[in-house]
Amino acid sequence: MREGDIWPGLRNPDGSRWHYLDTAATAQKPQEVIDAVTRAIGADYATVHRGVYTRSADMTLAFEAARRKVAGLLGGDEGEIVFTRGATEAINLVAQTWGQANLKAGDRILLSVLEHHSNIVPWQLLRERTGVEIDVCPLTPDGRIDLEAAERILTPAHKLVAFAHVSNVLGSMLPVEQAVKLAHAVGAKILLDGCQAVARLAVDVKALGCDFYVCSAHKLYGPTGIGALWARADILDAMPPWQGGGSMIDRVTFAKTTYAPAPQRFEAGTPAIVEAIGFGAAVDFVQGIGLDAIHAHEAALVARARGELSRLNSVRLFGPEDSAGIVSFALEGVHPHDLGTILDEEGVAIRAGHHCAQPLMDHLGVPATARASFGIYSDDSDIAALVRGIERTMRIFG
């Protein structure tokens, strides 16, 4: 899955291979996505939803076609897709609109220990405004959200469950259908953070039964600055707008303003036109390969990487054996930042730090971890380079 010049970002200046193992942070871009963005910002460029001239009309068609592609990726309808700046903004949108309108003091939200900061902080901000309470679901010993514990915690006071579909640190996968059933059993809505899922797992929000689903394009081999919120149509239609400006209005007077229907009601101002078209191109790319094939490819790499790293006595592995595309670990006596620096000298790029999941680091008892994460373009040579770099680090640190 790495042949030819399809991945220009994986070449070093001298033409050698760069061993990029930080896909969970952001994925490299295939040439067809780069080309789509280049055309959109160049020869095809015009505004959308406003101009009556031909190029503007064509760009509007391309922009809305991207919305349909994202809807197809998630298994929703195009009228249920709101373009946002990313998953972080999508979660904030839900918190500031649906949350503000529907949650009050005495209501409760259930999160989990492994959540990304973007699925913690917006709910804490909502807590400050409304008095809603937050509960935290523990993890199983192998790093999965403990749904048996969730069932014990949940009560009719819980109005929202917000879980990661796939952990960005541990790669552990949520049994979504079970989580949805538990949330709905007490009358709660459920939001899923799908950032790490959509690039490697087939998602069908209607079949899963969730109420909100969020993702970002840049982890799906698309551009930064664009993401999506999917929400059930009835929920979306009842949510108030959260930003005011052009595009989201029906009629404006100084006495009163009426608003456009969803999803336009949540897309104030000139949208991220180029980025949305790049998002659509990325969807085409991954669907052309097949998400099942991508997941199988990454699962095989995870198994090999965990096998190689488990041979090294100084390495502590985190997360389940069947993690989705992600291997987090610690090297005894070496801070992950030092390991990352030495690996960089070896032409290997990993993530070292708390991965925007500081409560999870506290749970693991470490200040940070090293994280190797795979993508479509990853292969065995990346694992070999990673192991060589770790072995060199072990020699340096004695």
- Which domains does the chain show, CATH number per domain? 8-21+290-396 (3.90.1150.10), 34-288 (3.40.640.10)
* CB atoms inside a 10 Å sphere around CB 107: 18
Express each pLDDT in 144-199 by its tens digit. 999 999 999 999 999 999 999 999 999 999 999 999 999 999 999 999 999 999 99
Express each pLDDT in 299-308 by its tens digit. 999 999 999 9
Residue 1 has pLDDT above 70, yes or no: no
Separation of alpha carbons 235 and 279, rounded Å? 24
CA 75 and chain centroid, separation = 16
Residue 398 has pLDDT above 90, yes or no: no
> CA neighbours within 13 Å on the CB side: how many for 116?
22
Separation of alpha carbons 321 and 242, rounded Å? 41
The per-residue pLDDT for 242 is 93
The per-residue pLDDT for 120 is 98
Residue 260 has pLDDT above 70, yes or no: yes
Express each pLDDT in 194-232 by its tens digit. 999 999 999 999 999 999 999 999 999 999 999 999 999
Q: Taking residues 124-149, report their average pLDDT.
A: 98
Terminal Cα distance for the chain, rounded = 37
The catalytic residues are 356
Q: How many residues does the chain have?
A: 398
Residue 3 has pLDDT above 80, yes or no: no
Q: What is the mean pLDDT of the chain?
A: 97
Express each pLDDT in 21-36 by its tens digit. 999 999 999 999 999 9
- Say if residue 263 is preceded by a cis peptide, omega within 30 of 0: yes
Residue 4 has pLDDT above 70, yes or no: no
Evaluate whether 280 touches 66 at the Cβ level (below 8 Å): yes
Separation of alpha carbons 52 and 59, rounded Å? 11
DSSP-derived letter for residue 22 is B
- Strand 133-137 to 108-112 pairing: parallel
The two structure tokens encoding residue 266: 């949540």
Sign of the alpha-carbon torsion through 353, 355, 358, 360? negative
Please, is 16 exposed, middle or buried when counting C-beta atoms within 10 Å of its C-beta (0-12, 13-18, 19+)? exposed
DSSP lists the bridge partners of residue 289 as none
Per-residue pLDDT band at 50 (split at 50, 70, 90): confident
Task: Indicate the residue type of 90.
Answer: A
Evaluate whether 191 touches 161 at the Cβ level (below 8 Å): yes
Evaluate whether 70 touches 286 at the Cβ level (below 8 Å): no
